[in-house]
Amino acid sequence: MIVSGGAKQALAVLLTVLIDPQDEVIITAPYWVSYPEMVKLVYGVPVIVHSEDGRFWPRIQDIKAAVSSYTKAIILNSPNNPSGAVYSDAFIGEIVEFCEEKGIFLISDDIYHRLIFDGKSFCPAYRFVKKDLEDSKVIVINGVSKLYAMTGFRIGWTIAPKKIVEVMVNVQAQTTSCSSTISQVASVGALNGVQSGIDSLRLMLQNNRDIMVQELKTIDGVRITKPEGMFYCLPDFRTFNKDSVDLCRFLLNKVQVVTVPGKEFGMEGCLRLSYCGTVKDITEGVARIKWALDPNAPNEISIGGTGYGGEIKKSGFTILNYLLPLEGILSMHCSANVAANGDSALFFGLSGTGKTTLSADPRRRLIGDDEHGWSDTGIFNFENGCYAEVIALSASAEPEIFACTRKYGTILENVIFDPVSRVLDLDDDTRTENTRASYPLDYIANAVPEKMAGHPKNIIMLTCDASGVMPPISRLTPDQAVYHFISGYTAKVSGTEIELGKEPEITFSACFGAPFMVHHPYLYADLLKRKIMRHEATCWLVNTGWTGGPYGVGKRISIRYTRALLDAALEGKLTDVEYYQDPIFGFAVPTTCPEVPDAVLRPDSSWPDKASYQQRYRDLTMRFIDNFKQFQDGCPPEVVTAGPKL
């Protein structure tokens, strides 16, 4: 006997000793994935034997038919990975007798030997050996990894005739030396210790096996052979897809279920499934597979493993983004408000640009803060509430939202509070910077109860430019609006009024909500352009980011100036002022605005180093151009040329 660094190494060393180049090793399918590769590594030839009837139990006649003058060994694994098949005593006896008669080594991988179900017992191959063990052709491989959950300890062993073991010792000594002493001691403790844990494990796996088989039988078209041992099963899915690798990818992408393709085990069209987990995991996993394979299954969305409640509403939003545009209704990731005279406005923007904050204006009535539709009759809110970021929320800058965090019924998500006084700490980002407040729309005093308004007169596209080069406000042509809508540029920051302590990351998110947009971005953008032109809406690009230099050098544009610019745009005060054309992006920038210094409107004037400004602007331009390349094929030329030019 020789102890190695796991059963895998034990088998690898054994094959190194036994197999000469061109020697054939018979392997019965299904087989453990490493068997053929190990044989190839020692320049042997793996000969795969499939049972004639396609079942998982090999027949002696199939094996005999595969034997040639080059056959050196046969590898058996019972209970079998991946099928769970347990070979009968009669078959084991026949194969031992045949191997000893022909002088062929029988390598018996017994790693799962105590995980056999339904009251059956393991039949060791050496029980049928008629010769002296030193002259026998039976070799046993085993280890502690499966029965004792000691995979990481890497202890396995080989029981073989002494002359073979002596050569294995030399090979192993010159390659990996001995196994870790600590692992060996731990393994001796496991082998000599209380064994009741194995019985409990076996009973648990048997119960899980029964549940998995029962659940799989509810899927029409799946053929399942009941495993007799270990913890895998190998159902046949060829009715749905004969390519097991493709089917595995499909299930992973469609329903996040991990399977292993049967192709790797020599059984194309099958999938290996594990029933080691909880009953809940098994039933849910099979239910997902069943749903994915059923063309008539109900449409459902499963959400898990997240501390962000927004996943729920965004799932619904994604569905609407697929359905509504097909009916001519533009679904939008934006906030909306309306003036007393009925002039409504849309605010597009990603997290941290001020979309929620700037639309919550005490002088205008709030329609909604996040998800809206634009139909032939006007704009409308999809939701009945708001889901606002509240990290470092300021009572002076954002009084309406701040007040909602104190109202009964508001759901606070990831917000830290004192467990005794229950006082909120909106500045605490211990859990995450993505802290949220969810509250009914009517908590905003001037919200529109109907959650609807007429066609927007102004469309605001918000960006947070961390480069510090974009003007604080620009007027866009319809084609420029489409270009910037598809681009969805901003820098990732955690909130409108705070800085992260690390440089914001430039990002582009098509339609200001790429993860939720199902169709090509131009489908939404074209709808937007048609509605802009039909209803004569004015489009603005508003930068709430940095001025006077990039992040770390300049400073965040004052929210007071941003509100003044928005007020002027929404109230028509920028209609007749003088504009200059930006030399790179081509949009029109006002030279003056009430309550805003003229210098703020010219970002280059606030940079002490004009050459640095120009370089930053060129760098940002290249990012725009590179990002838009992915959309060019689906956009008309007038939209592509509406972007920046160097």
Judgement on whether residues 124 and 76 belong to the same structural domain of the protein: yes
Within a domain: 400? no
CB 48 within 8 A of CB 31: yes
Within a domain: 531? yes
- In the listed set 162, 192, 222, which residue is the last one of a domain according to the structure? 192
Helix (H) or strand (E) holding 52: none
Judgement on whether residues 469 and 343 belong to the same structural domain of the protein: yes
The pLDDT assigned to 353 comes to: 86
79 prior amide bond cis, ω within 30 = yes
CB 283 within 8 A of CB 211: yes
Q: Where are the beta strands (DSSP E) in 201-254?
A: 232-233
Report the number of distinct structural domains present in the chain.
Answer: 3
Structure tokens at 318: 């994604």
Give the pLDDT mean for 613-639.
94
pLDDT in tens, 87-129: 999 999 999 999 999 999 999 999 999 999 999 999 999 999 9
Give the pLDDT mean for 158-183.
93
CB 27 within 8 A of CB 47: yes
β-strands 271-274, 232-233 pairing: antiparallel
Judgement on whether residues 45 and 18 belong to the same structural domain of the protein: yes
CATH number at residue 228: 3.90.1150.10
Helix (H) or strand (E) holding 457: strand 456-463
Judgement on whether residues 321 and 207 belong to the same structural domain of the protein: no
The pLDDT assigned to 397 comes to: 77
Q: What is the Cα–Cα distance from 23 to 148, expressed in whole angstroms?
A: 35
Judgement on whether residues 271 and 334 belong to the same structural domain of the protein: no
Query: What percentage of residues in the chain have a pLDDT greater than 90?
Result: 80
Nearest CA-CA partner of 101 in 66, 137, 65, 76 = 137
Greatest CA separation for the chain: 107
CATH number at residue 365: 3.90.228.20
Angle at 591 between CA 587 and CA 596, to 5 degrees: 115
Q: What is the Cα–Cα distance from 57 to 43, expressed in whole angstroms?
A: 28
- In the listed set 293, 324, 340, which residue is the last one of a domain according to the structure? 293
The pLDDT assigned to 53 comes to: 64
Nearest CA-CA partner of 124 in 144, 95, 98 = 95
Say yes or no to pLDDT of 348 above 90.
yes
CATH number at residue 151: 3.40.640.10
Q: What is the Cα–Cα distance from 627 to 83, expressed in whole angstroms?
A: 48
Judgement on whether residues 320 and 289 belong to the same structural domain of the protein: no
Question: Binning pLDDT at 50, 70 and 90, where does residue 54 land?
Answer: low
Within a domain: 21? yes
Give the pLDDT mean for 375-386.
95
Question: What is the residue-averaged pLDDT of the chain?
Answer: 92
Question: Binning pLDDT at 50, 70 and 90, where does residue 143 land?
Answer: very high
Give the DSSP per-residue string, 74-119: EEEESS-TTT-----HHHHHHHHHHHHHHT-EEEEE-TTTT-B-TT
Task: Return the amino acid letter for 493.
Answer: V
Task: Name every residue whose Cβ is closer than 8 Å to that of residue 562 and which is 6 or more positions away in sequence.
Answer: 354, 358, 472, 542, 544
Helices (H), 444-558: 478-487, 521-535
Say yes or no to pLDDT of 140 above 90.
yes
Q: What is the Cα–Cα distance from 79 to 99, expressed in whole angstroms?
A: 20
Residue 49 pairs in a beta bridge with: 28
Q: What is the Cα–Cα distance from 344 to 452, expressed in whole angstroms?
A: 10
The pLDDT assigned to 623 comes to: 96
Judgement on whether residues 209 and 334 belong to the same structural domain of the protein: no
Within a domain: 408? no
Task: Return the amino acid letter for 619.
Answer: D
Angle at 88 between CA 87 and CA 91, to 5 degrees: 90
- In the listed set 235, 262, 293, which residue is the last one of a domain according to the structure? 293
Task: Return the amino acid letter for 433.
Answer: E
The pLDDT assigned to 502 comes to: 62
CB 348 within 8 A of CB 460: yes
Q: What is the Cα–Cα distance from 403 to 415, expressed in whole angstroms?
A: 15
Q: Which is more confidently placed, 536 or 445? A: 536
The pLDDT assigned to 302 comes to: 74
Within a domain: 359? yes
Judgement on whether residues 29 and 95 belong to the same structural domain of the protein: yes
Q: What is the Cα–Cα distance from 61 to 80, expressed in whole angstroms?
A: 19
Q: What is this structure's pTM?
A: 0.56
Q: What is the Cα–Cα distance from 581 to 590, expressed in whole angstroms?
A: 9
The pLDDT assigned to 31 comes to: 96
Judgement on whether residues 538 and 566 belong to the same structural domain of the protein: yes
Give the pLDDT mean for 367-372.
93
N residues, the chain = 646
pLDDT in tens, 578-599: 999 999 999 999 999 999 999 9
Judgement on whether residues 136 and 29 belong to the same structural domain of the protein: yes
Say yes or no to pLDDT of 451 above 80.
yes
The pLDDT assigned to 495 comes to: 42
* SS3 assignment, position 564: helix
Q: What is the Cα–Cα distance from 486 to 461, expressed in whole angstroms?
A: 11
Judgement on whether residues 165 and 83 belong to the same structural domain of the protein: yes
The pLDDT assigned to 573 comes to: 96
Give the pLDDT mean for 225-252.
95
What are residue 387's phi and psi, to 5 degrees?
-135, 85
pLDDT in tens, 28-40: 999 999 999 999 9
Judgement on whether residues 221 and 172 belong to the same structural domain of the protein: no
CA-based torsion, 263, 267, 270, 274: positive or negative: negative
Within a domain: 474? yes
Within a domain: 443? no
Within a domain: 432? no
pLDDT in tens, 488-543: 999 876 443 344 446 788 999 999 999 999 899 999 999 999 999 999 999 999 99
Nearest CA-CA partner of 234 in 35, 451, 79, 456 = 79
Per-position b or e across 119-134, b if 16+ CB within 10 A of its CB: eeebbbbbebbeeeee
Domain extent, residue 133, equals 2-192
Helix (H) or strand (E) holding 506: strand 505-508
Q: How far is C-alpha 174 from the geometric centre of its chain's CA atoms?
A: 44
Structure tokens at 67: 């034997």
Nearest CA-CA partner of 319 in 496, 557, 469, 518 = 518
Say yes or no to pLDDT of 232 above 60.
yes
Helix (H) or strand (E) holding 604: none
Give the pLDDT mean for 362-378.
94
β-strands 24-28, 71-77 pairing: parallel
